[in-house]
Amino acid sequence: MTRTILMLAGLALLLGGSIATAAQKERAQQTTLGVPAYPGWAVHRLDDKADTSGKTHLYQYQYYSDDPAQQIVSFYEERIGAAAAFMEATSTYTVNAPDGAMIQITAPQDGIPQTNDEGQPTGKTWTSLITIIRFQAQ
What's the DSSP call for residue 118? Answer: T
Q: Answer whether 35's CB lies under 8 Å from 132's CB.
A: yes
Q: What is the Cα–Cα distance from 94 to 15, expressed in whole angstroms? A: 22
Q: What is the Cα–Cα distance from 29 to 35, expressed in whole angstroms? A: 10
pLDDT of the residue at 138: 66
The string of pLDDT tens digits covering residues 18-46 is: 444 444 444 454 446 678 888 888 887 77
DSSP helix/strand/coil, 14: helix
Count of the separate structural domains present in the chain: 1
The string of pLDDT tens digits covering residues 49-105 is: 767 777 777 778 889 999 999 999 999 999 999 999 999 999 999 999 887 789 999
pLDDT band at 112 (very low <50, low <70, confident <90, very high): very high
Beta bridge partners of 130: 63, 105
Domain that holds residue 16: 2-137
Has residue 4 got a pLDDT over 70?
Answer: no
